[in-house]
Structures are given as structure tokens and as C-alpha cells.
């Protein structure tokens, strides 16, 4: 079914139902703009047309209608459930090394935890890269810094102990 819409007193269209929904969700048109399709008696505000309810799956990601979500498996377009982005391996490494550093009270695993955590967060900051695991990277950073701090404090106490005796 083809839709027509009015924007700034200009009649535009025809467009598909998905395109109208995308334009509404992206802010290109508003709920107060008028729409019409064959079978309707008069132009109506978009907000009063129940079938134009905005679906969040691709629209929240800024994806055009019918395009593959960056979280979808190959061959799946516009699915009802977006898939979570893959977890960063660096974030996982950071968290594992941070845990090992705290549990063993050694500085050695803490240093890679800090390095991997920072690298993971830098990669996640790039908008062209879709990676999950931000919480793991932050947890690995915190535990890595703590394990390094504990080890440095222990070394300082040993030095002070040796010098004072």
C-alpha cells in the first residue's frame, strides 16, 4: 500500500509504510504532518493513524527500512529482535587479567588488564566499530589498576621494612 504525506504544504510520495515509519522516527516528519492512502476519505494527522505506529528495531539505530541491522546475522533484514554486538576480546582479556591480578596479588596480570582495557575502550569509542563489553573493559581496568596499586604498595612496605631494620 502506498502512502502520501504532506510536509511544509507540499504533497510527497508515494512511499511505503516502512518509509513513513522511518521518516517519523528519524524526525524528518512529525506526528502532526498529514498522510493519505487509497481508501481514506480525508488526509489525517500521522498521530491519528494507528498503523503508523513506530517500531523501534531499526529506527533507533538510524537504519533505513528494510536494511540489515548491524547486529543481524548475514541474510537477515529488518528482524524483530536486533542482535547484541559481539563482545570485544580485549575487554574479556582485560577483565580476566584484572581478576587474576587481584586474586593472585601479583602485578604481572594487572598490567595487561590495564593495557587491554584502554585499547578496548578506544576501539569501542569508534562509531564505525560495533563492539560490546564496555562494562567488562571498565571492570578490567579497575581491577588491573587495583592489583598494580596493591603490588606497588607491598613493594614500598618491603623497602621501608628493609631500610628501617
Rounded Cα distance between 15 and 37, Å, is 10
Domain boundaries, the chain: 3-59, 89-164
Residue 156's pLDDT is what?
Answer: 95
pLDDT at 67 over 80: no
Which tops the pLDDT comparison, 71 or 91? 91
pLDDT at 76 over 90: no
pLDDT tens for residues 97-114? Answer: 999 998 987 778 999 999
pTM of the shown model: 0.51
Residue 83's pLDDT is what?
Answer: 58
pLDDT at 85 over 70: yes
Q: Does domain 3-59 have CATH number 3.40.50?
A: no
The highest-confidence range among 37-41, 57-61, 73-77, by mean pLDDT, is 37-41
Q: Tell me, letter by letter, the H, E, C secondary structure of the chain.
A: CCEEEEECCEEEEEECHHHHHHHHHHCCCCCCCEEEECCCCCCEEHHHCHHHCCCHHHHCCCCCCCCCCCCCCCCCCCCCCCCCCCECHHHHHHHHHHHHHHHHCCCCCHHHHHHHHHHHHHHHHCCCCCCECHHHHHHHHHHHHHHHHHHHHHHHHHHHHHHHC
How many Å separate Cα 45 from the centre of its chain? 33
CA atoms within a 13 Å half-sphere pointing along the CA-CB vector of 130: 10
Which tops the pLDDT comparison, 126 or 67? 126
Amino acid at each position: 500500500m502506498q502512502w502520501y504525506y504532506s510536509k511544509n504544504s507540499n504533497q510527497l510520495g508515494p512511499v511505503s509504510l516502512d518509509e513513513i515509519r522511518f521518516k517519523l522516527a528519524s524526525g524528518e516528519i512529525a506526528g502532526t504532518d498529514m498522510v493519505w492512502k487509497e481508501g481514506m476519505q480525508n488526509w489525517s494527522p500521522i498521530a491519528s493513524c494507528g498503523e503508523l505506529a513506530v517500531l523501534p528495531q531499526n529506527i533507533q539505530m538510524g537504519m533505513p527500512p528494510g536494511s540489515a541491522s548491524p547486529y543481524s546475522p548475514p541474510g537477515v533484514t529488518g528482524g524483530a529482535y536486533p542482535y547484541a554486538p559481539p563482545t570485544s576480546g580485549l575487554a574479556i582479556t582485560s577483565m580476566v587479567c584484572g581478576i587474576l591480578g587481584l586474586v593472585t596479588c601479583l602485578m604481572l596480570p594487572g598490567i595487561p588488564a590495564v593495557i587491554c582495557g584502554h585499547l578496548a575502550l578506544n576501539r569501542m569509542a569508534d562509531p564505525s566499530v560495533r563492539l560490546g563489553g564496555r562494562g567488562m573493559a571498565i571492570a578490567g581496568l579497575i581491577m588491573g589498576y587495583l592489583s598494580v596499586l596493591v603490588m606497588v604498595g607491598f613493594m614500598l612496605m618491603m623497602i621501608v621494612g628493609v631500610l628501617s631494620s
